[in-house]
Amino acid sequence: MRVTNIGLIRERKIPQDSRVALTPDQCKWIQARRPGVQFIVQPSATRCYKDEEYERAGITLSEDLTGCTILLGIKEVPVADLLDGKTYLFFSHTKKQQPHNRQLLRAILQKNITLIDYECLEHEDGQRIIGFGFFAGIVGAHNGLMAYGNRTGLFTLDRVYKQRSFKELIHTYFGLRLPNLKIAVTGSGRVAQGLSEVMNLVGVHEVEPEEYLGRRFNYPVYTQLKSAQLYARKDNGGYERLDFHHHPERYQNKFPLYTSQTDILLNGVYWYPGVPRLFEPEAIRDEQFIIETIADVSDDEMGSVPINQRTQTIEDPVYGIDRNTLAITAPYLKGSVDIMAVGNLPNELPRDASRYFGEQLIKYVLDDLLGEGSATLKRATIVEKGVLTPFYSYLKEYAGSA
């Protein structure tokens, strides 16, 4: 019987992340049903599931993962901690040629590593298979509302991370009464699902985009703007999904129609260079631009929200942008727009998010990973044994590889 050792690495990126790819119960379940699979977990004082929980589940703890074939993490692995010749699965944040991870990709190539990026695992229709997007949306929507409440003094919400679970977070919404807000939710993926979930939990009514644009309401409302509502061809005003993804330069964004009707923007669109931004930075100088709070859950700096200039931390999630100078300010100042932008939002509900992530990993990825692979897994492999795969050959210059 072939033995496959899978290691769960300790998260070392700063700020540290407490999420994990598989929970103790999930590791135990896999070991019981997949003969030959054994897990080894690197001890961690900051992981949301304690070392003792893995031990009670019968999982081995060890600092030494050199005997593992496959290594599972969440955030980027520091270059110094990469083990030669291993197969890694984590969010590398390299597919968009992010400058801060260029050295990481270069080291992966030099160390003959195979890198499978969770972000690149997609169904045939392009929908992401695995991720933390739903809980990013949950926390992002809460934090967006919290920031608006802090700014206006109209209501108060406590921090998500103070709750032990999503269930406890829901209990904090009992009795909450929101003013007559208009909230725009952008996107159609898991992030947008999480954003909409919170809207429904706090009693914000959903309305169609046309109705949203047409009038004010005497109760809080939101509208969800998917790609067909956000983008239109410059030549004929139409929208076709595949055409948009292959030729985003042919399209313009229709969101400026909503900036004079929206109090809070909850942004969950997937953005990459070439996709039209929601608005131009100078638009916030216009007195008709009434948005006061933007929760940029996608968190692409200078991306779909072009005034998002930096990523904040869970402890300090909100900053301001001066409407006239476009400079960064403290939050909640008159004459500014508040931005909530945090790169690891699901870490405010780490146990729920980890359990959700592990369920998807088991359902859609595990058997392919342990078996002969699949087209899906191949498409998500950025580097195979130290060589960029054909799908990601465009990263050659970025990585500085020969």
Q: Give the pLDDT band (50/70/90) at residue 402.
A: very low
Give me the pLDDT at residue 165, please: 95
Give me the pLDDT at residue 16, please: 83
Q: Residue 2, Cβ neighbours under 10 Å: how many?
A: 7
The answer to whether the peptide bond before residue 15 is cis (omega within 30 degrees of 0) is yes
Active site annotation includes 75 = yes
Q: Does 215 show up as a binding residue in the annotation?
A: yes
For residue 27 the two structure tokens come to 């590791």
Q: Residue 84, Cβ neighbours under 10 Å: how many?
A: 10
Q: Residue 268, Cβ neighbours under 10 Å: how many?
A: 28
- Distance, in Å, from the CA atom of 211 to the CA atom of 236, rounded to the nearest integer, reads 24
Give me the pLDDT at residue 127, please: 81
pLDDT digits over 142-151, tens only? 999 999 999 9
Alpha-helical runs (H) found in 285-365: 350-364
Active site annotation includes 245 = no
Mean pLDDT of the chain: 95
Q: Give the pLDDT band (50/70/90) at residue 361.
A: very high
* Three-state secondary structure call for residue 346: helix
Q: Does 270 show up as a binding residue in the annotation?
A: yes
Residue 264 backbone phi and psi in degrees, to 5: -130, 130
Helix, strand, coil percent content, the chain, rounded in steps of 5: 35, 20, 45
% of the chain beyond a pLDDT of 70: 99
Give me the pLDDT at residue 1, please: 54
Q: Does 243 show up as a binding residue in the annotation?
A: yes
Give me the pLDDT at residue 47, please: 96
Average pLDDT over residues 150-155: 97
Tell me which of 121-130, 229-238, 243-252, 302-311 is least confident: 121-130
Place of tokens 């290691």: 7
251-253 and 264-267 strand pairing: unpaired
CATH H-level, domain 4-113+350-395: superfamily: NAD(P)-binding Rossmann-like Domain (3.40.50.720)
Higher pLDDT, 99 or 349: 349
Alpha-helical runs (H) found in 166-290: 166-171, 190-201, 209-214, 227-230, 241-246
pLDDT digits over 286-306, tens only? 999 999 999 999 998 899 999
- Which of the 8 DSSP states describes residue 275? S
Q: Where are the domains of the chain?
A: 4-113+350-395, 132-348
Place of tokens 């599931």: 49
Element of type H or E holding 395: none
- Which residue type occupies 313? T
4-113+350-395 matches 132-348 in fold? yes
Give me the pLDDT at residue 367, please: 93
* Three-state secondary structure call for residue 5: strand
pLDDT digits over 40-94, tens only? 999 999 999 999 999 999 999 999 999 999 999 999 999 999 999 999 999 999 9
**Selected catalytic residue, list 13, 93, 96, 226:** 93
Give me the pLDDT at residue 125, please: 77
Q: Does position 401 have pLDDT exceeding 70, yes or no?
A: no
- Distance, in Å, from the CA atom of 160 to the CA atom of 314, rounded to the nearest integer, reads 10
**Options 3.30.465.10, 3.40.50.2020, 3.40.120.10, 3.40.50.720; CATH of 132-348:** 3.40.50.720
